[in-house]
Amino acid sequence: MSDETTPARVLVADDEPHLLRLVKFRLEREGYEVLTASDGEAALKAVREEKPDLCVLDVMMPKRSGFDVLREMRADESCANIKVIMLTARAQDRDVDVGFSLGADDYITKPFSPQELRVRIGAHLNKR
Amino acid sequence: MIAAAAILALLQIVAISATAVVLIGRRMVLTRAELRRELLLRRLREPVLELVALEDESPPQALEGLRTTAEREAVGELLARYAGDVRGASRERIAGFLADQGYVAAAARDLGSPQEWRRGTAAKTLGDFASPTGAAALEDVLLDEGSAQVRLVAARALGRIGGRGASPAVLASCAEGAIPPAVAAQALLDLGEEGLPWVVGATAHPSPTVRAVACRVLGLLGGVEDADTLEALQAAAVSDPEWHVRAAACEALGRVGGEESGLALAGAMVDPRAEVRAAACDAATRLAVAEVAPLARRLLDDDDPMVARAAGRTAAMLELDGPDTAYVAEGRAEIAWGWS
C-alpha cells in the first residue's frame, strides 16, 4: 500500500508492447510506480508477488485471459481487494457484464483515452 | 579430361564462394539498416509518446521540422500505430500533427502515383493516420481508382477515418460494383452510428445490392430504440421487390427489433419465397413475438422443409399448444442447446 511518500504501484498487463509502453509512460509521468506483464500468467505472478495497488488488465492475452486473472485474484484472499480496471477491445455489453460480474472495479474499452484512464485510476486509488 | 574436370570444380567453388560473400554482405548491410532504424525508433519513441499521451497544447519540439525521410517514416509509423489505439484528445492531437506537418498531404499525393502498390500503401497509411483531412482523397479513390485492390484498401481506410462524406461514398462505390458488398458493409460498420442516417436511407436505394447491405448493417448497428431503423427494416421485410433484401431485413429485425416488429414479421411469414418465410420465422423466434403464433402453427405444414423447420423453432420458443411434430421437437432441442 502506498502512503503520501511512496508512489502507488500499478500493474499493467497487455500483450501489445506499444500499448504497454504508452500506458506505462502516461502513468509514470503521473508519478506511479508501474509494473508490466505481457501475458496472463506473468500478470498473475506479478500480482501475487508484488501486490500492486491497482491492476490494468487486457482481456485477450496469451496463456491466461484478463478475465481468468481477475477470477483468480478475487478467489485469492491475499489479492482479492486489489483494484482492477479492465482495458480491452471487447466492447460488447456481454463482455462488460462478465467483467463486472467477476469483480472488476471499472471497464474501459479500446480505443481509449489516456487522459480518461489516468483520471479513473486516480479516482479508484483515492477511494482506498 | 582430368584438367577440364578440375577447372569445372574450381569454377564451382569460386561461384559458391562469391554467392556466399554476396549473401553475407547483403545480410550485414540489412542488419546495419535494421539497427539504424531501431535506434531511430528508440530516439523518437519518447517524443511520440509525449504527443500521444500528455495533454500538452503544442507538439514536442523533437518532432517538429524532421528532415530526413527515415525520421519522418519512423514518426509516421509510430503515430499510425497509436492512432488506432486511442481516442478523444489524444487522437485529435495525432491527426492534427500529421496534417500540420505534411504527413497526410504526402500520403494523399501518393494516391496519384502510377504504381499500384504505392497507391495502396498510401490509402492504408491514410486510414492508419485517421486524420479527417485524408478522408476526401479516399472518397475520390472509391469512385475513380482503377485498381480493385486499392479501392478495397481505401474503403477500409475510410471506415476507420469516418467523416461526413464517408458513408455516401462507400454506398455509391458499392452501388457501382467498385467494392464488394462485404467490404462496404464492414466499412459502414466501422463508421458506426455516425453513418446511420445514410444507411437507413440506403434501404430505399435503387440498387438491390445496396439495399441488402443496408439491411444487414442495420441489423448489426441499429437498436430497438431507433425508430427510423425499425421502420426502414419493417418496410423492407414486406415491401422490397427483391426476395434476398426482404430476407436480409427479416434477419436484421430478428437482431434489433422488438415486439412491435410482429406485424411486419407476420407479413413476411406469408411471403411467396421460402427463404423469406424461414427468415421471418427465425426472427420471430429470436424476438419471441407471440402474435405470429397462428402463422407459425400453419407453417409447420409448409411444403418447404426449411420453412417447416424454422416454424418448429418458433413453435417451440412460443411453447405453442398443438401438433407436436418432429420439427417442434427438433426446435425445442435446438433452443435448449442455445440456438441463436
CB contact under 8 A, B90 and A115: yes
- Give residue A1's pLDDT band: very low, low, confident or very high (50, 70, 90): very low
Q: How far is CA A121 from CA A27, B19, B24, B152, B158, in A?
A: 9, 58, 51, 40, 33
pLDDT of residue A3: 56
Per the model's pLDDT, the better-predicted residue between A85 and B161 turns out to be: A85
- Give residue B160's pLDDT band: very low, low, confident or very high (50, 70, 90): confident
User: With 80 as the cut, is the pLDDT of residue A17 above it?
Assistant: yes
Range of weakest confidence among A32-46, A70-84, B214-228: B214-228
- Give residue A11's pLDDT band: very low, low, confident or very high (50, 70, 90): very high
Q: What angle do CA B212, B218, B220 make, to 5 degrees?
A: 110
pLDDT of residue A128: 56
pLDDT tens digits along B255-269: 888 888 888 999 999
pLDDT of residue A12: 95
Most confident option among A6-10, B32-36, B161-165, B245-249: B245-249
Q: Which residues pair with A83 in a beta bridge?
A: A54
CB contacts of B90 in chain A (<8 Å) are 113-115
pLDDT of residue B132: 81
Q: Which three cell numbers stand for residue B194?
A: 455516425
Q: HSE-up of B98 (CA within 13 Å, CB side)?
A: 35
pLDDT tens digits along A45-89: 999 998 999 999 999 889 999 999 999 999 988 888 899 999 988
* Residue B202 and residue B174 in contact, taking contact as beta carbons nearer than 8 Å: no
Tell me the nearest-neighbour CA distance from B75 into chain A, angstroms: 14
Mention every residue, 6+ apart, whose C-beta is less than 8 A from residue B284. B254, B262, B265, B269, B292, B296, B314
Best CA proximity match to B150, nearest among B115, B190, B188: B115
- Give residue B36's pLDDT band: very low, low, confident or very high (50, 70, 90): confident
CB contact under 8 A, B85 and A115: no
Per the model's pLDDT, the better-predicted residue between A25 and B136 turns out to be: A25
Q: Which three cell numbers stand for residue B302?
A: 409448409
pLDDT of residue B57: 72
pLDDT tens digits along B295-327: 888 988 888 999 999 999 998 888 877 767 888
For B92-114, what is the HEC assignment?
Answer: HHHHHHHHHCCHHHHHHHHCCCC
Tell me which of A14, A20, A26, A30 to substitute to probe the interface with B (most B C-beta atoms closer than 10 Å).
A26
Q: Does ipTM top 0.90? A: no
CB contacts of A110 in chain B (<8 Å) are 85
Share above pLDDT 70 across residues of chain A, in percent, rounded to a whole number: 95
Please tell me the pTM assigned to this model: 0.70
- Give residue B292's pLDDT band: very low, low, confident or very high (50, 70, 90): confident
Distance CA B233, CA B245 (A): 10
Best CA proximity match to B235, nearest among B255, B215, B209, B206: B215
Distance CA B319, CA B124 (A): 52
* Residue B208 and residue B244 in contact, taking contact as beta carbons nearer than 8 Å: yes
Tell me which of B85, B91, B220, B224 to substitute to probe the interface with A (most A C-beta atoms closer than 10 Å).
B85
Distance CA B316, CA B310 (A): 10
For residue B119, the SS3 value is helix
CB contact under 8 A, B49 and A114: no
> What does pLDDT average to over chain A?
88
Distance CA B301, CA B311 (A): 9
- Give residue B280's pLDDT band: very low, low, confident or very high (50, 70, 90): very high
- Burial bucket for residue B132 (CB in 10 Å: 0-12, 13-18, 19+): middle
> What does pLDDT average to over chain B?
86
Identify the sign of the CA torsion B215, B220, B222, B224.
Answer: positive
Q: Quick one: how far is CA B106 from the chain centroid? A: 25
User: With 60 as the cut, is the pLDDT of residue B196 above it?
Assistant: yes
Closest residue of B to A27, CA-based?
B53
**If you average pLDDT over residues B62-75, what whole number do you get?**
79
pLDDT of residue A4: 60
CB pairs under 8 A between A and B: 45
CB contacts of A116 in chain B (<8 Å) are 88
Q: Which three cell numbers stand for residue B255?
A: 437482431
Best CA proximity match to A114, nearest among A22, A4, A5: A22
